[in-house]
Amino acid sequence: MDSSSVYIIIPSFNEAEVIRQTVEEVLGAGFKIILVDDCSTDLTKEKLKDLPVIYIRHKINLGQGAALQTGIQMARLNGAEIFVSFDADGQHDVNDIAAMCEKLEKENLDIVLGSRFLPASTTNISSSRKLFLKLASLINFTFTGILLTDAHNGLRAFNRHAAEKINLMENRMAHATEFLVQIKKHRLMFAEHPVHIRYTDYSRKKGQSLLNGIRIFFELILNKFFNK
Amino acid sequence: MTIIQLTLTVCLILIGIYMYTRLRSTLLDVILILLATGTGIFFVLFPDFTTQLAHWMGVGRGVDLLLYLGFLFLFFLIIKLYARIRKMEHNFTEVVRNKSIKDAENLEKKN
């Protein structure tokens, strides 16, 4: 695997507290970073000064899905061969990236999805959050016909073919399900890969709440009817 | 003529005039406005007719018939509006995205 054509896309909104650490870890592993700042109101940009990061700023807050799509388009323009989506809040483990890219190439897949619930995964997840995510993956199944062990895992690796096919129209959080919808629609070859998620007090505070889950559910229903 | 009939008639005429000043572009617009205002005033002045119409359609009262039709119309309107909002949001996202990509910078080189 040639890591110079691997682009890590990090959508970020008000993560100044942890963003430098996240970015430095990824850079340390030798990957290129496209950071999409979704109109943060904190010091995100200042924190990243002097780091070799391609920095894109939305002039208006559009949502995580939109930021991810912007990052994908930028990576395509830069000639990326492998695209990796990575959360800004520091919950992902950089060491998983290489393994996922390797799996992508070796098994001739279009997209590898991170899962925190496979036998080899490690995570310090609470049981209520686990239940919530399991329920979410069942809901995803009813909407997409794809049954995964995990839902809303921000770590994914995909090839150029997938990046050219995928076009996220859901600007906010429903994009995670939209990924699955488009995998199905474009018949992309996919597999799950065990990843390590560390929940910190910070990421717990920032994470998905039940209320958000309900909101995502309604976004999905509307997406079903108005998807064009 | 009762007070409510007078109020509704005046309101309908005012709305008709307002629509006319906004949209007086084609003959069709004028005809449509006249037709809509006229029908409205007709039903206000002869409410028994709506009841007859309702009975004919199998509904008890004219007001109920209006309620059902009004509900359907509003529901249709909400769906149309929502679809339009989504389309606008999509266009707007494209504009912001293209501008953002054009303005992308490498933070290391800048300093």
Contact A53 B107 (CB under 8 A): yes
Contact between A9 and A64 (Cβ < 8 Å): no
CB-based contact, A43 to chain B, within 8 Å: no
> To which residue do tokens 């993560």 refer?
A15
What is the C-alpha to C-alpha distance for residues A218 and A211, in angstroms, rounded to an integer?
A: 11
3-state secondary structure of B106: strand
User: Among B9, B16, B21, which residue's Cα sits nearest to residue B34?
Assistant: B16
Contact between A158 and A81 (Cβ < 8 Å): no
CB-based contact, A46 to chain B, within 8 Å: no
Please report, as a single letter, which amino acid is at residue A179: F
What is the C-alpha to C-alpha distance for residues A150 and A177, in angstroms, rounded to an integer?
A: 11
pLDDT of residue B23: 76
Give the pLDDT confidence of B64-82 residue by residue, as tens digits.
888 999 999 999 999 899 8
pLDDT of residue B70: 93
pLDDT string in tens for chain A (228-residue length): 678 899 999 999 999 999 999 999 999 999 999 999 999 999 999 999 999 999 999 999 999 999 999 999 999 999 999 999 999 998 999 999 999 999 999 999 999 999 999 988 888 888 888 888 888 899 889 888 899 999 889 999 999 999 999 999 888 878 888 999 999 999 999 999 999 998 888 777 766 667 777 878 887 887 777 765
What is the C-alpha to C-alpha distance for residues A54 and A44, in angstroms, rounded to an integer?
A: 13
Probe site for chain B from A57, A61, A68, A78 (most B CB atoms < 10 A): A57
CA count, 13 A, side-chain hemisphere, A81? 10
pLDDT at B110 over 60: no
Write out the two tokens for A24.
């430095």
Please report, as a single letter, which amino acid is at residue B25: S
Probe site for chain A from B93, B94, B99, B105 (most A CB atoms < 10 A): B93
CA-to-CA separations, A181 to A74, A168, A169, in angstroms, rounded: 22, 10, 11
pLDDT at B8 over 70: yes
Instruction: Pick B105's closest partner by Cβ from A55, A66, A222.
Output: A55
- Residues sharing a CB contact under 8 Å with residue B22, sequence separation 6 or more, in sequence order: none
Give the pLDDT confidence of B18-63 residue by residue, as tens digits.
988 887 678 888 888 899 999 999 989 988 888 888 899 998 888 8
pLDDT of residue A206: 67
Contact between A78 and A92 (Cβ < 8 Å): no
User: Among A199, A202, A24, which residue's Cα sits nearest to residue A122?
Assistant: A199
ipTM of the complex: 0.86
pLDDT of residue A57: 96
Write out the two tokens for B101.
């990509």
What is the C-alpha to C-alpha distance for residues A41 and B23, in angstroms, rounded to an integer?
A: 43
Contact A56 B104 (CB under 8 A): yes
What is the C-alpha to C-alpha distance for residues A6 and A4, in angstroms, rounded to an integer?
A: 6
Tell me which chain B residue has its CA closest to the CA of residue A73: B101
Report the run of H or E that residue B75 belongs to, with start and end: helix B62-102
Contact between A29 and A106 (Cβ < 8 Å): no
CB-based contact, A56 to chain B, within 8 Å: yes
